[in-house]
Amino acid sequence: MTVDTLSPQDHIALAERWGAHDSVPFPVVLAGGEGAWVSDVEGRRYLDFHGGYSAINFGHRHPALVAAAKTQLDRLTLSTRAFHNDQYAPFCRDLAELTNTEMVLPSNSGGEAIDTAVKIARKWAYQVKGVPDGAAEIIVAGANFHGRTMTIISFSTHDNHRAGFGPFTPGFKVVPFGDIDALRSAVTENTAAVLLEPIQGEAGIVVPPKGYLAEVRELCDDSNTLFIADEIQCGLARSGPTLALDEAGVRADLYTLGKSLSGGLLPLSAVIGRADVIGVITPGDHGSTFGGSPLACAVGRATVALLATGEFQERSRELGAHLHARLNELDGVTEVRGRGLWAGVQIAEERTAGRRVTELLAERGLLCKEDRGHLRVAPPLVVTLEEIDLGVDMIADVLA
């Protein structure tokens, strides 16, 4: 039996038998994708309103990204950082120029980028701020999602992310998201950094109160504390501007990027920001075999080139306004949160039965993610106005 002859049930049974049970995938076996559409092994097409948790910002198999990958596959895929390669430095330069930052440290996954930012912040606190060795603290927000490494789940407030995995990494304080008074009370002379998502993704696409991010910046300046913005999901035009913090007119000291940095083609992430902060990392302090590989950097350069035109930022803002307006009109919707082509659609309790909502949407040809009573809507930024209307009409039909 070859892969091409396997039925959806065969694939699901094989995954159940041989794959680790680390998730509960939706019972659709995808085999192809183009733009805002995917198809399963039986050829049925679905409109993608999931967007790979923001990794598919530029649609499935964007021609420019695929072409960059194919070209690089014929040249060089890996050099490690033991040697220079001809894609690394141009990628770092291009990404820094796009984001108006000074230094780039590439890595692979978003979780790796967060771990790296934590390491940088702690070393900066000891070497620059003068925090006693081993005493550095990092303040995070409740309901955060930054990944699932051991360090990251140590400051998660999601019980299912932590249960059974202790003991946890110390050195973190948790305060409510959007509460500047709680944050101010938590800062001490040992605070190395404040780590926040400018818009919380897994919490339900939650936008903080107006002025909050500017107040965080002011507090960090006053206390000589680093501001780290996790833009792995909300950044790179997903919420409108290139960086979500730009909407508030605020700059972070460090940013973490990932997911759509490679357009969903392969793992690529980065910590970007101030050179004097990232510069505390010296040879031997940190490393990654695949981080900054020529293949990843070539695709990353193609991604940066797409963003440099401003087209996707404009599409996110304009089409996002239409998406939010349509969603707010739906019966059974109590709240629509978010910005750009990113929405958390809160459904009235009597209209939802958890996963059943997404099952009904899939039957109609729409793929979406449901979590804790809200639909997560994040179509690729290449989606058309007509496709948005088609998807929203399917949601309306299910909620009717």
- CA 301 from chain center: how many Å? 18
CA atoms of 369 and 282, how far apart (whole Å): 41
Question: Within a 10 A sphere around the Cβ of 271, how many other Cβ atoms?
Answer: 29
CA atoms of 72 and 85, how far apart (whole Å): 12
Q: Which of 58, 91, 177, 259 is catalytic?
A: 259
Catalytic site residue 70? no
CA atoms of 395 and 329, how far apart (whole Å): 11
| Among the listed residues 283, 261, 280, 264, the one whose alpha carbon sits nearest the alpha carbon of residue 107 | 261
Q: Which of 58, 91, 145, 312 is catalytic?
A: 145
Angle between helix 311-328 and helix 385-399 axes, rounded to 10 deg = 30
Q: Which of 48, 115, 230, 253 is catalytic?
A: 230
Catalytic site residue 230? yes
R_g over Cα of the chain: 21
Catalytic site residue 123? no
Q: What contacts 119, CB < 8 A, 6 or more positions away?
A: 281, 285, 286
Angle between helix 385-399 and helix 355-364 axes, rounded to 10 deg = 130
CA atoms of 251 and 88, how far apart (whole Å): 25
CA atoms of 334 and 283, how far apart (whole Å): 52
Catalytic residues: 145, 230, 259
